[in-house]
A and B are shown apart, each in its own frame.
Chain A
Amino acid sequence: MAPLLELKGITKRFPGVLANDHIDLTLEKGEIHALLGENGAGKTTLMNILYGLYSPDEGDIFVNGQKITIQGPTDAIKAGIGMVHQHFMLIPVFTVTENIMLGEEAVKFGGFLDRKKAAAKIKQISDTYELNVNPNAYVRDLPVGNQQRVEIIKILFREAEILIMDEPSAVLTPQEVDELFKIMRILVDQGKSIIFITHKLREVMECADRITVIRGGKVVGSTTPKEADTKKLAAMMVGREVELKVKKTKAKPGNTVLHVENLRVLNAQEQFAVDGVSFDVKEGEVFGIAGVQGNGQTELVRALTGLLPPTEGEIEILGQETTKERPRSITELGSAHIPEDRQKDGLILAFPVSENLVLNSYFHEPFSKGIRLQFDEIAESGKQLVEKFDIRTPGINTPVSSLSGGNQQKVIVAREFSRPIKLLIASQPTRGLDVGSIEYIHKRVLEKRNEGCAILLVSTELDEIIQLSDRIAVMYRGKILDVLDVEDASKEILGLLMAGIKPSDEMKQKITKEEQIILT
């Protein structure tokens, strides 16, 4: 019997790039097929072709053995292919039902919306696949995990047989991820099939039936979780051996560099996003802040870096109060900031690499004399940094916008690390990066720590927090629930804290014991 979906020799060229190079892929009915690859490997291009957003230059698509052409999402939906996007396409002020029926509205009396009919169908889908979604709830009131389920129902509502899930775990807590994997399993047990796009090795091992690894637009191999291990998969993805865990010595904390006391910060909605936070970060240690996105980490970092003035509380850097200081005076004190959104905050995309490398030092000698910029010096320093930090760019005059995400991040790291810094505030330093770049940036961060720099690491990736931090704080709804030494922290405890549950000592011990049993 022909497989449910078959891609044969799909090739897509963009000017100067071969995004997909004769890719073959098959999807059998009732399986979860993981598409694993680094950013820029061509996963998303391939899925966009399948979903009709791009048309392939070569190659054919078969569904149930029949050749089809997909010229747009409408064709894809008709062929039973649906996509759950990484960023949800939902309208917050609409109910679940309204969101789902959008574009496929059930009507009565020839023009009035029939919400009841749609809601009944949604209820039925929700029950069949144990999705547990209330059709009458407003989307803005739902937690992120539930919003994702709404996206899934949206596809099932349109009777899709093949679900494409693009990095579905990126926005979820560990518990929500487990929940999602359960749902995916139910879906395939009921006869649906899933293509699961990711660059996270652990997830692939946990939930995929088959794994196809893509590198540089080509399929480098297919395997199953039973045959493979994370190390092997990482090597396949990157094309060389990768150290997944950076070796770390014990921290030797020194004097306090950053002191935060009872900080309260309002967000754009005039709510206290940071609500009474106090902590210290010392020389030579990494202080990690874990938490699900949107629990006040963004506002905390913006307050610390002078971008958002706090309403109450005190911030001290190297003994100087900086609560109401401007960003420039804070950076000049010796503080560096890797912003969470590199394209929005960290870079001027239209500017060349060399100018981005002096973005917060252009007014210093030797980069300028008086008001005249010294382009020779800027270029010279740019060349050195490009080499030292291994930034892959055609040249220092190339606009940063044409660099890959990993190299863009390296530009930021190079810029911040090339200044004499005593404090590093790194927010999501490896978000969306490939395994190779993550390894590189982790190494550099630990190097800085060992040089005696104080590091505040904010990340939603638990793995990253656990690997790099010496102490870990968990933020939940603007408050720090608990601060743990890394030795006492486990994924389970952190996961509970991230969900707002403070485990009792008994529970902690139990979890630790269970883990030890699993380990032995």
Chain B
Amino acid sequence: MEKQKQVQKRQSATAIFFDELSKSPGLITFLAILTGIIISGLLVAATTVEVYEAFSVSFFHGMGEIFKTAWSTYSSLFLGAFGNPKTIITAVQGGDALAIRRAINPFFESLVQSTPYIFAGLSVALGFRVGLFNIGAEGQIFIGALTSVYAGYAITGLPAFIHIPIALLAGALGGALWGFVPGFLKAKTGAHEVIITIMMNYIAFKFTDFMINGPMQDPNEYTPKTPWIQESAQLTRFFEDPIRFHLGFFVALAVAFVIYWLLFKTTWGFELRTVGSNPNGARYAGINTTRSTIIAMSLAGSLAGLAGANEVLGLNHRLVPSFSSGYGFDSIALALLGKNHPFGVVLSALLFGFLRNGSRQMQLKSGVPIDIVSILQALILAFIAAPAIIRTIFRLKKPEIEEESIKVGGWGGN
């Protein structure tokens, strides 16, 4: 009797556990990623000739081949992102320093790839929190790179601990300027920030091209490139080649924490979030919405500017054409995945960074095109954006309290 009762109790406790779990928003994110991985795997299988050949033998052969294909795709993706444990062990046993660095490089390279994502993701997330849709992160990255590289090569004779902050700050200011313009136009004239930031992107691309083709071109080079930045402006690297892991990653984490603190622990953040959540209510509460909009866009711009600075000061050490390759646009998706929370942004930036880095290895090893990672990212986002699909597939209950959704002002500055 006693035992039976206990079993019953335990069952109900598990039931409660699953009940609570099924209502948590984190679960949706996890299941969205999982579903995206499964469907992408099926897509890879569907484009593989061997799978069809196996199906012509028998159904079981076919299914086996599907699993095999998906397994080899994802395992090479994983090994590409984290490094191969076997190689690492052999390298450590061999004791050759270069071999060890090569073996652990994939992991650190993934962190390197994540770093600009963290900055740019924070930029977009901050915008969303204040009700602004910053599509201009890409352009802000370019301007941030431009100003920081200038501060990097033009200022000489400074020690690193002064020069690095100055160069980073220059990048942040450049991005801030590029964010300020749409923020100002939005606040004062009601011009929609989506349009303005898109236009600002084109200006930034062309302006950067102009600068590195003309005023900022390295006189010793025939191709458009800026001069190398001073060694004192280079973000410190912690290992020797080929590991490129540098100080920028920790700067990004620190900035994420500062943004978190600012948004959620200070009166400024309270004002910004109020404006983002209900601009009418903010005005009623006496908050200066014009100022908040301008500050928010400038701050978002400076974060994206830091992403650009991070790339040139930490990796390239000079500015070359089209160096960013879409970090700014990916970061829109990434901010949504991270629920516009600084810590969520860090996590999803890591996911994106590891996927990006791993996908190269995947293409090399298993011949699966790199685009499958874009498809995977797109699928994950589609499921995040439409949680109802995930709820239906996994038969989850709807949470009683509506999840915080992103509100972006309509056309005409409402």
A328 pairs with B286, CB closer than 8 A:
yes
Residues facing A in B390-404 (CB within 8 A) are 397-398, 400-402, 404
Q: Does B277 count as interface, using CB distance less than 8 angstroms?
A: yes
A402 pairs with B270, CB closer than 8 A:
no
Residues facing B in A321-368 (CB within 8 A) are 326-332, 337, 339, 344-351, 355, 359-360, 362-363, 368
| 0/1 string, B244-277, CB within 8 A of A gives 1 | 0000000000000000000001111010011001
Q: Shortest distance in angstroms between B22's beta carbon and chain A's nearest beta carbon? A: 12
Q: How many residues on chain B are close to A (CB under 8 Å)?
A: 24
Q: Does A15 count as interface, using CB distance less than 8 angstroms?
A: yes
- Alpha-carbon distance A80/B265, docked complex (angstroms): 57
B266 pairs with A372, CB closer than 8 A:
yes
Q: Shortest distance in angstroms between A298's beta carbon and chain B's nearest beta carbon? A: 13
Q: Does B190 count as interface, using CB distance less than 8 angstroms?
A: no
Q: Shortest distance in angstroms between A371's beta carbon and chain B's nearest beta carbon? A: 4
A351 pairs with B288, CB closer than 8 A:
no
Q: Does A399 count as interface, using CB distance less than 8 angstroms?
A: yes
Interface size class of A (residues with CB under 8 A): 20 to 34
A360 pairs with B270, CB closer than 8 A:
no
Known: A373-B265, A402-B401. A327 touches B277 (CB 8 A): no
Contact with B286, one of A339, A344, A348, A360 (Cβ below 8 angstroms) = A360
- Alpha-carbon distance A360/B274, docked complex (angstroms): 11
Residues of chain A with a CB closer than 8 A to B281's CB: 344-348, 359
A401 pairs with B277, CB closer than 8 A:
no
B404 pairs with A359, CB closer than 8 A:
no
**Which residue of the partner chain B has the closest CB to A17?**
B400
Q: Does A319 count as interface, using CB distance less than 8 angstroms?
A: no
- Total number of residue pairs linking A and B with CB closer than 8 Å: 73
A337 pairs with B402, CB closer than 8 A:
no
Residues of chain B with a CB closer than 8 A to A344's CB: 278, 280-281
Contact with B404, one of A307, A350, A368 (Cβ below 8 angstroms) = A350
Contact with A345, one of B280, B288, B397 (Cβ below 8 angstroms) = B280
A355 pairs with B278, CB closer than 8 A:
no
Residues of chain B with a CB closer than 8 A to A346's CB: 281, 284
A348 pairs with B278, CB closer than 8 A:
yes
Contact with A355, one of B270, B280, B282, B404 (Cβ below 8 angstroms) = B270
Q: Shortest distance in angstroms between B274's beta carbon and chain A's nearest beta carbon? A: 6
Q: Does B92 count as interface, using CB distance less than 8 angstroms?
A: no
A339 pairs with B284, CB closer than 8 A:
yes
Q: Does A16 count as interface, using CB distance less than 8 angstroms?
A: yes
Residues of chain A with a CB closer than 8 A to B404's CB: 350
- Alpha-carbon distance A307/B288, docked complex (angstroms): 11
A15 pairs with B398, CB closer than 8 A:
yes
Known: A348-B274, A348-B277. A362 touches B284 (CB 8 A): no
A16 pairs with B400, CB closer than 8 A:
yes
Residues of chain B with a CB closer than 8 A to A339's CB: 284
Q: Shortest distance in angstroms between A310's beta carbon and chain B's nearest beta carbon? A: 16
A373 pairs with B397, CB closer than 8 A:
no
Q: Shortest distance in angstroms between A139's beta carbon and chain B's nearest beta carbon? A: 24
Residues of chain A with a CB closer than 8 A to B13's CB: none
Known: A347-B281, A359-B281. A401 touches B402 (CB 8 A): yes
Residues of chain A with a CB closer than 8 A to B365's CB: none
Contact with A373, one of B266, B285, B286, B402 (Cβ below 8 angstroms) = B266
23 CB contacts below 8 A, A to B, read: A16-B400, A305-B284, A326-B288, A327-B286, A328-B288, A330-B286, A337-B284, A344-B280, A345-B283, A346-B281, A346-B284, A348-B277, A348-B282, A349-B277, A349-B278, A350-B404, A355-B270, A360-B286, A362-B267, A362-B270, A373-B265, A373-B266, A401-B402
A residues neighboring B (CB under 8 Å): 15-16, 305, 307, 326-332, 337, 339, 344-351, 355, 359-360, 362-363, 368, 371-373, 398-399, 401-402
B residues neighboring A (CB under 8 Å): 265-268, 270, 273-274, 277-278, 280-288, 397-398, 400-402, 404
A332-B286, A348-B278, A373-B266 known; 19 other A-B pairs, CB under 8 Å? Answer: A15-B397, A327-B286, A344-B280, A344-B281, A345-B284, A347-B278, A348-B282, A350-B278, A351-B277, A355-B270, A359-B274, A360-B285, A368-B266, A373-B265, A373-B270, A398-B401, A401-B401, A401-B402, A402-B401
